[in-house]
Structure 1
C-alpha cells in the first residue's frame, strides 16, 4: 500500500510547470484548474506547451465550426443538385442517395470524444446570460434562463390604447403621496406617524373593498397565497372598516395593515374588467401601499403585515408590467432581508398554533414564488435554502399524492438545484449534467388532483366556476414543467439550429431540439385549452403569456431557419394558435408590453409563412430579433429575406 500523503505534503506541493511559466495561480491539483481550462490537462504538472502552440480545445472548436460551415454548404449544393436532377430525370441522383454515417460526422464524433476525454465531459454552457437592448441603446443583462418577453423594453405607447389606459397615465393622488411612494423602501426617518390619517380619504367604500378583495382571492390567491382569506377579513379588513365603514382614525391602526389592504385591493383591481381605468387605479392602490409602508420603514419596524404586503406586491409585479425587472430584483432583496429580520425562515413550531401557521404559510408562499421568479428571470434567489429550517405547511388536499401545495413544495427546490448547479455553476455545466438535472424534474410525480386531463375530461375538469381554482392549478403545474424544460434546453436549441440548419437532429444537441419543440407545442396547446374554459383567470395571469411568448418565438425561429424540417408544419400551426390567442386577449391584456409582444409575433408569423411557402430559410429575420447573439432587439423592420 502506498504511503498516505500528509496534509503538509499536499499543502506545499509545487505549482505545475505550465502555471509557473505563465505566472498563473495554480491550485496544485493534478491536473490543475488552469490546465483544464486551457485544454492541456495531459501535460500537467511537469510539461509545458511549446511556444506558439494552441490548446487542443481551441483547435477542436475551430474544427467544429469548419465542419458546421461545410455541412451547411453541402446542404445548399444538394438542394441545387436536386432541382437540377428533377428537371432532367425522374430518377434520384447517385450523390443524393441515403447514406450512412459519413466521414464528416465521424470526425465530428471523434472531436467530441476527444473533448470529453480531455475534460471528463464536454463543457458547453459557459454563458453570462442574455442581453436586452432598447431603441435608445440602453442595455440590461439577464440570466441564461430569462424568458423572452422579459427582453421587450419600454418605449412610446402603441396606437390603439386610449389615454387613460396607457402606462404613463397620470394618477389622481396628491403629490406628497407619490413622492413618499417613490422613497420606498428607504424613506427618511422624519415621516410623522400622524401621516397615516391622510390615507383615510383614499380608502375605497366598504362594498368596493369587499368586491376587490373577492377578486383578489378568486383570480390570484390560487397561484400564491401569502395571507389567508379568514385572517385578512378578521384582522385587516375589519381593522380598517369598523362597523363596515371606513375608520374615522387610523392612528391606532398600524400603517402596514393599511398597506396590505391597499395592495390586495390593487391586485384585485387588475381583474376588474368592468373598469376601463383598472390599470391606472390598480397602480394608485399600489402607490398608496408603498407610501403606507414608508410611515414605519420596514427596515426599522419589520412586521408580518409588512411582509404580507410586500408578498402581494411582488405578485402584483409578476402579473403587471409597472416596474422594470431591475426594480423587482431589488424588491425581492428587500423581501428576503425582511423575512430574515422576522425569522420567518427558521422553525416556527415553538410559537402559538395560529401564529405558527400564519408565518409558515407566509414564508413558503413567498419562497416558492421567489424560486420560480429566480428561474424565469435569470437572477439569484433572495433567500438561500441553506438558511431555511421552517416547516412546510400541510396540504389540505386529501387525495393520494397530495395536491397543488405538495407538488410546488417539491418542484421549486428542483428549480433551485437547476439554477445553482447549471446556470450559476462556477465552472459552467456540461450537457450531460444539464440532462441529469432535467431528468430530476421529470421524475417529480404530478399528483392526480392536478394532472392535465385527457381530451374527453377537459370539459369536466377545466370548465365551470367550481373548477376555476383547480383548473388553474392544473395548468400552472403542468405548464411550469414544460416551461422548465424549455428554458433548460433553449440555449442548446439555438446552437443546434444555428450550426446545423439543414438538419438540426444531426447535431449533438438534437435532444434539446426535440425537447424545445415538444414543450413549446404543449405549452401553447395547454394555453388554448385553459383560456377556452377559464378566460378571465388566464387573461390576468401574465406568466402564462410570458411562457407562451417564449414558446412561440422558439417555434417561429425553427421555421425561419429550418423551413424544410419535418416539424415545421406543426410549429407553424401552433404559431398561428399563439397569435390568435394574443389577438383575442389584447382587450383584456392592455399592458404596453403585451401589445409589443403581439406586434412581434405577428411579424414573426408573416415571415414564417413566407419561409414555409418558399421552403427557404429567412436567416436575416432571426438576426433582427437577436436570437443568435442573445441581444434581443425590437422586431420593427422586415429586411429583405435572404437564404
Structure 2
C-alpha cells in the first residue's frame, strides 16, 4: 500500500508539473482551465504579476488505507495543526467520550451508534428516555445557563421555544413526553448538555456527555429520511455546537454533521422566506432566524476550514428576521444578531469566492474586499475603544461585552486569514524591508489585525475573565495571531515592526497560556513555545553586536522543502504523508531550511521581550537582560513612508485619519504611521524607487508566488527544532 501511494503521488506531481509548464508557456491558454480555448481578457504576461495560486493542504494517512484530509488556504491554524502527527492523546479522549461508558442502556446505545440517519425499523419508543430527564428546577437552571452563556453568539433556538418544550414536558408532577416529537426532545437534551458545558460544576463532564448522547439517540429514533421539522434542524445545529464547544478534535464531526443540517434545512425550504406561504408571523420569524443562523455558521465554518460552503447566497430568498429583542439596544439600531447576519451576507460570500477561486486570484480584488470588510459599520452600542482610557468602554454585562469583542474578531480574523499568505510572500521576497514590497499592505494588515485581536481580548479579559475562558473561538484567533507575529519576527527581524511584534508575541503567548486553560488543545502550548523561541533566536542573531544585519533569501530548494508536516500551521501546499501516529517529542531535531547570513553569528544570549510561558521557564530559568541601550538605535520605532516614495491621495488621508482616531490609538507610536503606507490604496504596487525590483513571475517556476507554499515555508522554519 505504501509503495502504491508513493507511485500515485509521483504521478500526481508529474501531472501538476506538466500543467504548470503548459500554463507558463506563452500560448495564450487560460490558466484556470488549461485545455480551454477561451481567450484571456488581457495578455497573460500582464496578468501574471498580480495572480496567486489557491490550493491548500492534503494529508494522506497510510494506516487508514489512503484516508485523506483537506484544508484550504484560509484555514484557521488550529485546524491546520490537526494535519500534524498526533500527540497520543486523541485515542484517550475518544475513549472517554464513548457512549458505552456513559451509563445508558443497550437500546439507547444502538440508537446513538445509528446517528445521524437512524434505524429504519426501530423497535424502541420514547419511554426508554424517561429515567434521564432532570427535575423541572434543574432543567430550568440549565436552560437559563445556556441562554446566558451561549445564546449571545448563536440563537438557533429562541427562548420562548425552549420554554414551550419545558411546559410540555413538565406540565404535571412528572415528565410526560408522549405527544412530543423525538427531535424536539433532542433539542431539549442538547440544551441541557450545552448548559452543563458552561457550568462550574466539577463533575459535569460525564453528565453533559450523557445528555449529548441522548440527543443523538433521539434523532436516530425518528429517521430523518421519513420526515423533518424545524426541531430536526435545531437538533443537528445544537449537536454540532456542543461538539465545537467541548471537543477540540471534533472538527471533522462538526463539518460532516452540519452538512446534514444544511441539507435538512433545504428539504424544509428554509432558504425561502416563509411569507410566500402565508405562514403565521411567529413561524416566519422562527424560520428566518433559523436560516440565517445556519447560513452564518456554514459560511464561517467553510472559511476557517478552507473548504467551499454548503449554502450560496444567490440560491436563497430569505429575509432577515426582525431586530434583536435586546433591552440594551434602543431605537432603530441593530442588535448583535441582526448585525451578524448582515455582515455575513455582505462580506463572507465575496471572501469565500476569493478563497475558493479554481485557479488564480487578483490581489486588487483582495484589496477591494479588504476595504469592504474594514468599512462595514459596527452599531455604536457594540463598539469599544481599544486604546483604553476615555472612549467607549467594555460593557459591564458579560453577554454584551462578548458581543462587542465578537464584532471586532469577526472582522479582524477575516482580514488576517485573507492577508497572511501575501504577508508571507512579502517577507520572502524582501526580508530586509517587506514594507517596500508590492504586497506591503498585507504585511500591515496581518500585523494590525493580529495586534488588534490580542489587545481586544486582553481588555475583555480584565473585565470578564471567567466566562471568556470557556470560549475557544476567541483563543483560536489569538493562537493564529501568535503565528503571524512570530512569522514577522522570524522572517524579517530587521523590520520596523519586529521589536514590537516580538513583545506582543511574548505577551500574547503568556496571555493565551493563562486564559485558555479550560478549552485549548494540549499541544498548542508546546507549539507556541517553539514559535517564540525561533522568533527570539532570529531577532537576537540579527541584532547581536558585530552582526552585519543581513538576511539572505533562502534558496529555491529551501522554499520547496516539505519535510514531514512542519509548516502545516501556515496552510501547506502539497501532500503530507502520515506514516506514523506518534508525535515528535520536544527533543526531536530537524535540519533548518531557512538559512541566514553566515556573517550574522548566533549570539550567546537571547532577548526576552515580555513574560515567558511555563514551557520556557522550564527551559530558560534565568533569561538574559534586554540590551535596551543598543536596541534603541537599531530598531526604528517610527516608520517614514517618504523613504519608499509611497503617497496617499487627500481623500485616503482623510479617511485614514478618521479611522485611526477611533481604532489605531491602541497602537504605540510606530503604528500611528501605518496610514501613510498607502494601506487603503487599492491597486497598490511597489513604487518606482522602492528597494525591491518587482519582476513578473510565471506560476510553476521556483520563484512563483504560490501563497500556500510560501506561508508554509515560513512556518516550517519557525517549527524547526534544530536549535533545541
TM-score normalised by the chain length of structure 2? 0.67
- Cross-structure match for 1:417: 349
8 Å CA contact 2:273–2:318 kept in 1: the answer is yes
Q: Pick which of 597-606 and 630-639 moved more.
A: 630-639
**Distance 1:525-1:382 versus aligned 2 partners, 3 A rule:** same
8 Å CA contact 1:128–1:143 kept in 2: the answer is yes
- Cross-structure match for 1:108: none
**Distance 1:157-1:212 versus aligned 2 partners, 3 A rule:** farther
Deviation of the 1:134 alpha carbon: 8.1
* Correspondences of 1:468-547 after superposition (within 5 Å): 468-547=398-477
Unaligned ranges ≥5, structure 2: 1-18, 31-39, 544-550, 597-724
* Correspondences of 1:164-179 after superposition (within 5 Å): 170-179=101-110
**Distance 1:474-1:502 versus aligned 2 partners, 3 A rule:** same
Residues in 1 aligned to 2:273 and 2:482: alpha-carbon distance in whole angstroms: 43
Q: Matched residue of 1:152: which SS?
A: helix
1:439 aligned residue (347, 371, 383):
371
Deviation of the 1:542 alpha carbon: 1.4
Deviation of the 1:360 alpha carbon: 1.4
Q: Pick which of 131-140 and 564-573 moved more.
A: 131-140
Deviation of the 1:221 alpha carbon: 0.3
Deviation of the 1:39 alpha carbon: 4.8
Task: Work out the number of aligned pairs and report it.
Answer: 531
Residues in 2 aligned to 1:282 and 1:362: alpha-carbon distance in whole angstroms: 24
**Distance 1:135-1:556 versus aligned 2 partners, 3 A rule:** farther
Residues in 2 aligned to 1:556 and 1:132: alpha-carbon distance in whole angstroms: 25
Q: Matched residue of 1:462: which SS?
A: coil
Matched, 1:252 2:179: yes
- Cross-structure match for 2:230: 304
Residues in 2 aligned to 1:123 and 1:460: alpha-carbon distance in whole angstroms: 40
* 1:156-196 residue CA offsets vs partner (Å, 9 max, x unmatched): 5569x99999667943333442332222111221113x421
2:156 aligned residue (202, 226, 229):
226
Q: Matched residue of 1:615: which SS?
A: helix
Unaligned ranges ≥5, structure 1: 1-32, 45-56, 58-114
Deviation of the 1:237 alpha carbon: 1.5
Q: Matched residue of 1:140: which SS?
A: strand
- Cross-structure match for 1:325: 251
- Cross-structure match for 2:663: none
Deviation of the 1:611 alpha carbon: 2.5
8 Å CA contact 1:260–1:308 kept in 2: the answer is yes
8 Å CA contact 1:165–1:280 kept in 2: the answer is no
- Cross-structure match for 1:286: 212
Deviation of the 1:503 alpha carbon: 2.4
- Cross-structure match for 2:608: none
Q: Pick which of 254-263 and 317-326 moved more.
A: 317-326
Residues in 1 aligned to 2:43 and 2:462: alpha-carbon distance in whole angstroms: 48
- Cross-structure match for 2:52: 125
Matched, 1:180 2:111: yes
- Cross-structure match for 1:595: 522
Matched, 1:141 2:70: yes
Deviation of the 1:394 alpha carbon: 1.7
- Cross-structure match for 1:216: 146
**Distance 1:202-1:447 versus aligned 2 partners, 3 A rule:** same
* Correspondences of 1:88-107 after superposition (within 5 Å): none
Q: Matched residue of 1:429: which SS?
A: strand
Residues in 2 aligned to 1:584 and 1:43: alpha-carbon distance in whole angstroms: 54
**Distance 1:454-1:399 versus aligned 2 partners, 3 A rule:** farther
Deviation of the 1:250 alpha carbon: 2.6
Q: Matched residue of 1:544: which SS?
A: helix
* Correspondences of 1:38-437 after superposition (within 5 Å): 38-40=24-26, 118-120=45-47, 122-131=49-58, 139-153=68-82, 155-156=86-87, 170-192=101-123, 194-233=124-163, 235-243=164-172, 246-247=174-175, 249-275=176-202, 277-321=203-247, 324-349=250-275, 350-396=278-324, 397-399=329-331, 401-437=333-369
**Distance 1:612-1:202 versus aligned 2 partners, 3 A rule:** same
Residues in 2 aligned to 1:300 and 1:220: alpha-carbon distance in whole angstroms: 31
Residues in 2 aligned to 1:347 and 1:339: alpha-carbon distance in whole angstroms: 13
8 Å CA contact 2:54–2:359 kept in 1: the answer is no
CA RMSD of aligned residues (A): 3.5
TM-score normalised by the chain length of structure 1? 0.75
Deviation of the 1:380 alpha carbon: 2.1
Residues in 1 aligned to 2:148 and 2:384: alpha-carbon distance in whole angstroms: 21
Deviation of the 1:629 alpha carbon: 3.7
8 Å CA contact 1:267–1:282 kept in 2: the answer is yes
Residues in 2 aligned to 1:622 and 1:35: alpha-carbon distance in whole angstroms: 21
**Distance 1:458-1:236 versus aligned 2 partners, 3 A rule:** farther
* 1:37-71 residue CA offsets vs partner (Å, 9 max, x unmatched): 44536699xxxxxxxxxxxx9xxxxxxxxxxxxxx
**Distance 1:239-1:136 versus aligned 2 partners, 3 A rule:** same
Residues in 2 aligned to 1:133 and 1:550: alpha-carbon distance in whole angstroms: 24
**Distance 1:270-1:613 versus aligned 2 partners, 3 A rule:** same
